[in-house]
Structure 1
């Protein structure tokens, strides 16, 4: 009797455990008999189909199937009974369930035959695939979006490559034309420089001879016009020199030849030369600071820089004025400054001052090409130097050229 009691107790415990497992299973579990009538349904299934157990138990399982599964479920069961192949009914198959509210959802169905109390029942295991399908749809949409994006980007890239190719061809064509134009300009400048210098030299010589032959007549008008001729020749010669210098710089033909020389003697000679062309009562005052006087620079390029800056100081300053010309040689650098008290440079024009062909707006009728300061800056740079300035309108300008001491 005790043995029977223990067995009954074990059976009851096993049944309770089985019921607890079924009731708490994540997947749905439904059992049906051989005619397709539902005998049990666990809470997970009720949650999936939105039915209570009382609404399902005792009814045909087809109530949980949408068309065409509803019409075919009896054939599924009959086929299973004939062939004993569970996969025909749906092991691992994806099928569609019908909820109480009429909506459907996908699930994976597995069916097992379970012998029970001298009869056979069928247990269906239902795994909801709603989230997986949603994820798949999202992935498909994302993949489609990526494909469209890649296609659009590829198309845009092709257009960009085509545009770049066209731009490259245009740039190549422009470079060829620019090279041809540069060569033409170089030939013209060289030819013009040579052809203009010859008649200018003749004019200069003729003016000097006229001045010499007119001395016995002591005619003020002759002297005045001869001076105008010489002045005009000087201006044209300066313009030709500027164009020729620019052409050499653009062509890379300017060679720097640094050699040691006496900066003080060099500067005194320039001061004497330019004092002769200064305006009435204009004085160029030269001063050197320091005991050293030797520097290693290109004297020809430096002469051009200094004479241009002092020439500008003469040109843009009035009569009865002073032009300060200073040099200084220290341990690390050589500094050259030219200061005048002329018309100055407007603040709005200062940022463009070293650009080729640029002239300040307050120069008026004062002659010039706008090339001088551009050439000065580039010559100084070729000698590893730099040019700076400070200026105020009607108060004058200070130019500073600085070279490092090797």
Structure 2
């Protein structure tokens, strides 16, 4: 009795469906898992022919399956089993694997069918087939696209080869034009600057504020144009590979004091440049002209993007490993979204507004720094200023 109860419990709680039929195909027992699969309660199944759970043509051929097994015991319905289709009460179909075995019980033979639902496996197989077909289609499309790309690249290669000579000629023409324009524009700009200074000087006895205001505007415009010309000329030389650093020893403190004095003259009202040096040594071996250009450019930016009545810190340091140049202001700062583009040519931050500039200065500073084997870094917060640090290894 205990063994029978255990066997019944196993059948009732089995994950797969289990059905027993007699030698005429009539259903004798069905477990809960099979009822769930076929959507029938036990009382609607027990006593009926098992063919009720099969769609055509399996339903019509079922009796032949049983007769064949009784005659031949062919293995296609024994053991691992075969894949068949089940018919649910609501008319839907589902695939399952059927394994059938015969059992001698109470002096007669009954057949036990073990039903393993294959719905998920079939869905996965179908999805895999669709994915494989999709991949094949993609491969075909990519292959076709690649062929077109190769053909286009070949054509482009031929066009590039033909245009290289023209591009070289245009480059030489551009270089000559930029150089000529920069030098030719300097002469009238110098004349305008001199004339403005003379007008300012001759107008002194009259003490006319309008004259001073407009003379200052002329000088400021000339200064801006001169900066633009210098930037374009420097960029042209860099692009043409004409800038070669010349390393010589010089006094960094002396150079920095000269730069501070020069830049203080163009600072805004009550805008003070404070210079300080750290270290017992003041001699470095760098390209003096390139370093001066870098410092002037960064200080000019600090002046431009800071307000009146502010301080600009200009610090240098020489230690055992590095020569460091730092310029710090309390100006408008650089938006975080713009910082990754800061050293790109012609790029200007979005908060510069109407402040004049070419967007070339920091690109030139970065390239000059690189030519001297240095590294430039910065920290900035909007409305809290910017700190630029150039580090050269000793």
- TM-score range relative to shorter protein: 0.5 to 0.7
Structure 1 residue 286 displacement after superposition: 0.8
Matched, 1:404 2:379: no
Aligned to 1:265: 254
**Number of aligned positions between the proteins:** 254
Aligned to 2:176: 187
Aligned to 1:290: 279
Matched position secondary structure for 2:176: helix
CA distance in 1, matches of 2:148, 2:206: 82
CA distance in 2, matches of 1:220, 1:345: 36
Aligned to 2:314: 325
Aligned to 1:341: 330
CA distance in 2, matches of 1:155, 1:250: 39
Matched, 1:388 2:377: yes
Q: Which runs of 5+ in 2 are unaligned?
A: 1-142
Matched position secondary structure for 1:378: helix
Aligned to 1:245: 234
Q: Per the alignment, do residues 270 and 163 of structure 1 end up closer, same or farther by CA in structure 2, a change over 3 Å counting?
A: same
Q: Which runs of 5+ in 1 are unaligned?
A: 1-153
Aligned to 1:198: 187
Matched, 1:299 2:288: yes
CA distance in 1, matches of 2:371, 2:328: 23
Q: Per the alignment, do residues 171 and 210 of structure 1 end up closer, same or farther by CA in structure 2, a change over 3 Å counting?
A: same
Structure 1 residue 159 displacement after superposition: 7.3
CA distance in 2, matches of 1:281, 1:270: 18
Aligned to 1:57: none
Q: Per the alignment, do residues 370 and 156 of structure 1 end up closer, same or farther by CA in structure 2, a change over 3 Å counting?
A: closer
Structure 1 residue 220 displacement after superposition: 1.7
Matched position secondary structure for 1:292: coil
Q: How does 1:157-168 map to 2 (within 5 A)?
A: 162-168=151-157
TM-score (ref. length: structure 1): 0.60
Matched, 1:222 2:207: no
CA deviations 1:161-218 (Å, max 9, x no partner) are 6554323212223433432332222122112112211111111111111112112222
Matched, 1:362 2:362: no
CA distance in 2, matches of 1:393, 1:174: 45
